[in-house]
Amino acid sequence: MPDSFVPSPLRDNWYQSSSFYGSSFALITSVDEAGVTSIGPYQLSFPFEVIKRRSWMVISRPSSNTVANVRRTLKCALNFVEYDRAQIETILKFGYPGQLPAEKMAYNTFTLVDSPTPGRTGPGLPQIIGEAFQVFECTLDVDRIAANPILRDSASAHLLLNIDNILVKQRWKGRIDGSGDEMPRVPLTYGFRGGATFWFGEAQPAFKLPIPDLGARHEVVHYEANRIDDGVRFTLEASKQLTGIPRPFLRQVLEGIVWQAKKRGVAEIGPEFLEQLNKERK
């Protein structure tokens, strides 16, 4: 007998009071008025703009230390740590509202270190978590928040953060492209449930599957082509002309075209440019 769907009433914080939402989370470091770097865990923390601009959205209760600190200093770092059962209790304690940053730092079991980025240490600039596998260094986009009524007037604080730098540990850097057999083991949270418990989960080891080959559709070519170099755009028409390239060679061919475009200072690749390259090859 299949289970049936029943309605779940909408409540505030519906993602954890009316439904299941499991995801990773960031540990946000920011600096308080006394100059202390503090750590706050945030599950509602996602990539926001991913093409051309690199931004991030954090949704917080408006009275958190993180919100006050970031609004004052404009800076924060999003630290992503791997699953470590021994650290979960510290993370949970960091999530308990009403603690001053100095109180949190008294029981902190993570190592705070200076950012290796030039110009990213000093007053108002947060330290980062040494154990993190990656860190996003961010600046609050005050102007675009003020210009957007949803972000500006929400009952929650919506921190629109521009990502200035992405730092990845050496061990993981070479695996971003999916080479190797491992991914960082991101911890999961399902949030606050039922008034007395906070749920966490452990990710299973990651595995990879080959992308199904549904033929060289021009959308696929277009997507691949336009993520090679921010300074070079392929028009849809150009992508349509490139659908004949066998999948295993696609990336290499596209990179070759981008290389030629850059060499010649061409920012937009249309059919004419491809034709010109074709002619030269003959």
Ligand X SMILES: Cc1cc2nc3c(=O)[nH]c(=O)nc-3n(C[C@H](O)[C@H](O)[C@H](O)COP(=O)(O)O)c2cc1C
Which lies closer to ligand X via its Cβ, residue 2 or residue 194?
A: 194
Decide: is 66 part of the binding site for ligand X (CB under 6 A).
Answer: yes
**Euclidean distance between CA atoms 29 and 137, whole angstroms:** 10
**Run of H or E including 200:** strand 197-202
Decide: is 95 part of the binding site for ligand X (CB under 6 A).
Answer: yes
Decide: is 16 part of the binding site for ligand X (CB under 6 A).
Answer: no
Decide: is 189 part of the binding site for ligand X (CB under 6 A).
Answer: yes
Interface residue with ligand X, options 25, 56, 136, 234 (CB under 6 A)? 25
**Euclidean distance between CA atoms 8 and 186, whole angstroms:** 29
Rounded to the nearest whole angstrom, what is the least distance from the CB of residue 151 to ligand X in the complex? 15
Cross-strand partners of 160: 57
Nearest to 26 by CA among 200, 158, 186: 186
Q: Which 129-188 residues touch ligand X, going by CB under 6 A?
A: none
**Run of H or E including 26:** strand 26-31
Instruction: Say if CB 185 and CB 24 are below 8 A apart.
Output: no
- Which span (60-68, 120-128, 158-166, 215-223) binds ligand X, by CB under 6 A? 60-68
The end-to-end CA distance of the chain, in Å, is 66
Decide: is 61 part of the binding site for ligand X (CB under 6 A).
Answer: yes
The residue with its CB nearest to ligand X is 95
Residues counted in the chain? 282
Instruction: Please enumerate in sequence order all residues whose Cβ is within 8 A of that of 155, keeping only pairs 6 or more positions apart, or say none.
Output: 62
Decide: is 36 part of the binding site for ligand X (CB under 6 A).
Answer: no
Interface residue with ligand X, options 16, 29, 37, 38 (CB under 6 A)? 38
Q: Which 250-269 residues touch ligand X, going by CB under 6 A?
A: none
Q: Please give the residue ranges that form the binding site for ligand X (CB under 6 A).
A: 25, 38, 40-45, 59-61, 64-66, 91-92, 95, 97, 189, 198
